[in-house]
Each structure stands twice: as C-alpha cells, then as structure tokens.
Structure 1
Amino acid sequence: MGHSFKPSAFVLFSLLFTTSLAQTFTSCNPMEKTDCPADTALGVANYTIDFTNNIMSDRVWNTTAGKVDFEDDGAAFTINQRGDSPTVQTNFYIFFGQVEVIMKAAKGQGIVSSIVLESDDLDEVDWEWIGGNNSYVQTNYFGKGNTTSYDRAVWHPVNNPQDEWHNYTVDWTHEQLEWFVDGQSIRVLKFEDANGGQNFPQTPCHIMLGIWAGGDPTKNAEGTVEWAGGDTNYDDGPFSMTVKSVRVTDAGRGTQYVYGDKTGSWQSIKSLNDTSPIKLDGENSGSTTQSMKQKWNGLSSTTKNIIIGVVCGVALLCVAIFAFCCIRQRRAGKHEKLVEDAKYEQNAAEVLAYRANMTRLRGEKMTTAQVRVSPVMGNAGAMYQNHGQTQPMMGAASPNPGAGYANSNYAQSVSTFGSGRGYQKY
C-alpha cells in the first residue's frame, strides 16, 4: 500500500482487516464469571494531567508494555526496535463520560498509534493512526468483543496529525458515542444503530494509550500488516507518539463499579461508595509527581536565577576548598620529603663513619702484627734477635765464615761452597 490513502481505500481496509484490531483480552469477563473483582472508579467528575509538567503516577497508570519517556513536549511512546510496544492504561474505570487527549501520532510505515477505551467484557472504543499516512485517523468500536461484521471502522481526514497537535475527544453516554477532532464532531453512533444496542459499548472502561508495529510480519497476520500500511522497517526508527495531556470525566460518582449480572448491559452496573477514592496525580493531586526537568521548567525566571547563583556559589566554594586542601597537602608532602631527605643523609653519614672506623681498626690491627713478627726471616730472625746476633745477609760473603758454628767441618763446607752466595748445602 502507498502512503497516500483515499477514503474508498479506507472503507476497503475496514471491511477486510478490522477483525485483527479488536481488543480481545480480559483478565476476568463478568459475562462468564460472577466472582470478578470490582472495577476501581475514577471517583471525581474531572481528572486532568499535563505531561509537559507532570509524569504518570503508578497509582493512576499501569505501564503494561515498554516504557514511557517524559520530555519537553510530553509523554513519548517510542518504538526503537522490533518488539517494542510501549502501552499504559489507567487503574481506574469510567462509566460513561468524556476522554480528551491532545497528541501527535507517530510516523513510520506500519506503525499504529492508538487511544482505546476498553471494558472487562470487551466493549471497546478506538482511535487509530497509521504511520504511513499523515492525513487520516480511524474511529472504531466493538461490543462484547463481537467481530462478526466489518462495518464499524470509519476514516476521517485530519490535517498533519503527525506534526501538529490535535485534540481528540470521545463523549460517551448510554444513548450515543460521539467523536470530536479539535472540538468538531466527526462521528455519532446511536445506541440503537449498534446492532440494536448489542454492540454498543456500555460497561465501565479504562483508558489505554499506546503504539505498536502493525506492520511487523513476524508478529501479525498478513491482513493486519496490509491494513497498517505495509512492512515496518525498524532501521527508519525510532518512531514516537507524543501525548501532551489527558482529561477524563466520569459520569458515575462511585468509587467502584460492579456487574450485577451476566447481561453486560449498562442497567446491570452498580455504583458503590464503599472504598476510598483513588489518589490521583496531575492537577488533581496536592503532591504532583514531576520529573526534575519538569520541576525546573515550572519555575519562574527569578527563582531559576537564584538557584543558579546559589549553585554557582557553592561550586566556587567547593573549588576553593579543594584548591586549599591540595595546596596544604602539597606543603605537607614537601615538608615530609625534607624530613625524609634529612633522615636519609644522616643515615648515609652514619654508614660512612662506620665504614671509616672499621677501616681504621683493621689498619691498626695489621700494624701491631707487623711489629711482633719480622717480615724478613720470620721465626729464624726472631731467634737471632733474641741472642743479640746480627742476622746474616743473604747473597753476600760472611766476614767470618764458619764463625759461631761448633762443627768446624760444617763451617769449612760453608766457607768452601757458600762464599759470595749465602747458600748452604745440606
């Protein structure tokens, strides 16, 4: 399918492929069971939340898939990759009333943006935008999950719904459903015109906001993919639907809604006041839930300037303290270094003194040993000295060969063979 749709093409798609779009899940269907829990009612006439100033409270909203990001423009429902389908639903129900949503639909072939009112017995009211088309929005409804006919969906022209904010409102009574775009009525469904009332949504509904890839052939039937405008190329993403604000009114005034029987008719619904009302967020809460960015954006210029001045002053003080600590630490480190250097020099001097002392002691010891023992003749020289005799010089002739020897023969041999040499022959 191309991106430029014609009304006739819309009718054809509605007739062929609407079956796959109906919401067909409920945790407990009161038309099949009698022990389903009561539905928590909104409890007030009007509930408003602006997502440019507030974020969703989990008391009021239940994120059933993915996550929602809160940006300057509001709540962003974004598909970044295959499998993403961020969706939220209210924890409260309304029993007739109005639902108003200001939003921009998502771009992208096969991407579907949606607003859905859904009940426990599968009554349903829809808004749906196809990402490959920037000129139309589809309205639809279902009663008790009945998809036996395909004449419910209608496509309506809208100017640039992907890039411009538009107000999409449903006014719901037990007599009729009416859809509005920017305050202009675009469709009216009478009770009797919905199969004699059998397919008219008429039981308490919660509100769902979400985005999904109808053009994903791995998750959807061929008819759904074609209705969604063709295969989704995730490389073209991310794809975002942005909701600026939501306003809900509840025609009922109870805190709970209970099904009185299995007929699924609006007359069977009982409104109770046995519980406390739900604690709301947004403009209905004294303690509004906001992101830090939203809180900042909500401040006046004067307050912002004061805060900026205080923060800058604190930052400068922190920098000054840090610099002081660094300088002080550096000085302390320098002092410690000087002390350590002095200790090192003292230790080095002590080692040098010790070595010098040891060298001196060794020298003195060696000198003493030399005095006691002559280094020329050893013990023999000592013997000559002890007898008062002069030690003969080796290598020179004795002036009196043989003198002092008792053995004259021995003296003669010395005289004969040792003259002029100092050698002795044995």
Structure 2
Amino acid sequence: MLKSDGAFISILGNGLPAERFYISEHSNDDSFQGGDWVRENVVSGPDGLRLDVTATGNPKKPYGLAEVSVLGTYGYGRYETIMRPAKGSGLVSAFFTYTGPYFGNPHDEIDIEFVGKDTSIVELNYFHKGKTGNSARIKLPFDASQQDHLYAFDWKPEGISWYVDGKLIYQTPVNDPHLPKNAGRLFVSNWTGKKELQQWHGAPDFGDRGSAYYSCISYTPLGENTRRCADIFQPGTQFPAAGE
C-alpha cells in the first residue's frame, strides 16, 4: 500500500488555510504553460475558490494563471471535488494528482480536465513514468460551466474509476501497465498553454479573464469511510461555500 496522508474535506471559501494549501507563484518559462502562476489570480470568496486566467498585456508572458495544491501526499483512495470549469477557448480547468522529478519520483498523474472551448466534454487521463494510459473524452449531458457538479475518481491498485454526480463514466482497462504507482500531490488549476497547445485547447478567446470555481475538495483513503464532498453536494444547485 502506498504511504499517504490522511483523509480530509475542505469546503472552500473565505480564505485558504496555510496549513492545508499552497498557492503556486512562480515562472513557467520552461513549461508548456502560456504564462506564470500568479497568487492574486487565486480568489477565495462566498462562491468558493475562484481561479482566474487573466490577460497581462505583456507579449512575452501574455497570461497570468492560477494553481492551488493540497499539502501532503496522497495515494490510493477516493478523490472528489465540486467544481464549475471555466468557459472560453484556450482555457483548461483541472483537478488532478501529480508527482514527478521535482518531488523525487517518476512522473505519475491522474487527471480530470475541461477544455473551455467545449465544456460539455470531460477529459480523463493518467500517467506512469511519464507515459499516458488509455485516456478518454466523455460527452456529458450538460454544459459543465453552467453550474456546480460533483467529479470524482477512485484510485485502487487494480485500476481507476471516474464518476460524475455519483455515476460511473469510465474505468481503466484490466492490467493496464500505465497505472500510477506513486503517491502524489493533489492540485486544482486554471491555465492556458503556449501556442503549440492551441491545436488541443484552442486559441485564447475569453476576454480579460476566464474563471473556474471549486467549492469542495476531499480525499478518503482506500478502505476508509470518511466525510467527503458527495455528502454536501446538492445536485442542480451551486453550493454556497464558506469556511473549511
């Protein structure tokens, strides 16, 4: 069993506790992102956590991006979020686990992503040692940018299962060699990429700002039964987040 920190649930809004969260604030010169992570683009308020991509007016770094991670490392178990992705070509809203060379590990990752040019599709992916598995693009019966929904994945040694509003939408193949094997950090982000990624996410077309919203994040270790985002999710409504 992977070494992991314990269960948590964070209802987001009106401040991010420093003992739980880290706000990214650094340059992305050597990455595929189309700008730097900007602390001021992470805004906590009554609608939960708002992550902004903003136009900077700087042609060398035209956009400011937003990313928050949960301190600690997390392994097998159930990961949940209540979120509303950003709408607009060029935007990518994500909920994912990641570890890599910076943390002394190979690149392992599990993703839930929305590309803002079509927020009726959720993109699911996973990596082991930098190699991707059988990724999927799932058509949803709604526009995810219009209201909050519950997104989750169960990560077990034998596979990964993804859920939307409690319904199973995708599972990894049996005996998949690309299943992640290393515990990682949990992230939420809203970003746009450099020009070479526009074939995927589209050319930026979202005005001065594109915003994604997250009102709850939770983790339950494998084999445990703890409080999670599903316990507070109200289908068809926007969750009024406040406090932790």
**TM-score, normalising length: structure 1:** 0.44
**Counterpart of 2:198 in 1: which secondary structure?**
helix
Instruction: Indicate whether 1:172 and 2:155 are aligned.
Output: yes
1:238 Cα deviation from its structure 2 partner: 1.1
Task: Give 2:203's aligned residue.
Answer: 231
- Computed over aligned residues only, the root mean square deviation of the Cα atoms, in angstroms, reads 2.4
* 8 Å contact from structure 1 (residues 40, 92) kept in 2: no
Shift of 1:89: 1.3
The answer to whether the aligner puts 1:55 opposite 2:15 as a matched pair is yes
Task: Give the Cα–Cα distance (whole angstroms) in 1 for the partners of residues 174 and 18 of structure 2.
Answer: 34
Structure with the largest fraction of strand: 2
Contact 2:48 2:242 in 1 (8 A): no
Number of residue-to-residue matches in the alignment = 201
Aligned partner letter, 1:246:
I
In the alignment, structure 2 segments of 5+ residues that lack a partner are 25-36, 56-61, 100-104, 225-240
Q: Structure 1 counterpart of 2:181, which letter?
A: Q
The letter of the residue matching 2:179 is: F
Q: Of 58, 62, 74, which residue of structure 2 is paired with 1:94?
A: 74
Using a 3 Å threshold, how does the CA distance of structure 1 residues 41 and 57 change in structure 2: closer, same or farther? farther
The residue number in structure 2 matching 1:278 is none
Deviation, structure 1 residue 173: 0.7
CA deviation vs aligned residue, 1:77-116 (integer Å, no higher than 9, x gap): 0112133111111221112011100000001111111111
CA displacement, residues 194-245 of structure 1 (integer Å, 9 cap, x when unaligned): 2xx2x1112112111101113xxxx241xx20110x21035x1310000010
Counterpart of 1:78 in structure 2 is 52
Does the Cα contact within 8 Å between 1:94 and 1:252 map onto a contact in 2?
no
Asked if 1:250 corresponds to 2:228, the answer is no
Which amino acid is the alignment partner of residue 117 of structure 1? T
Partner of 1:207: 186
Deviation at 1:191, TM superposition (A): 5.1
Query: Residue 396 of structure 1 corresponds to which residue in structure 2?
Result: none
Structure-to-structure mapping, 1:12-411, within 5 angstroms: 41-42=4-5, 44=6, 46-52=7-13, 55-64=15-24, 65-67=37-39, 68-81=42-55, 82-119=62-99, 120-146=105-131, 152-158=134-140, 159-190=142-173, 192=175, 194=176, 197=177, 199-214=178-193, 219-221=194-196, 224-228=197-201, 230-233=202-205, 236-251=207-222, 294=242
Higher relative CO (Cα under 8 Å, sequence separation at least 6) belongs to: 2
TM-score (norm 2): 0.75
- Could you report, residue by residue, the CA deviation over 1:6-43 in whole angstroms, capped at 9, with x for unpaired residues? xxxxxxxxxxxxxxxxxxxxxxxxxxxxxxxxx9842x
Larger CA Rg, structure 1 vs 2:
1
Q: Which runs of 4+ in 1 moved over 3 A?
A: none
* Post-superposition CA distance 1:125-157 (Å, at most 9, x none): 11111111131111011111025xxx7321112
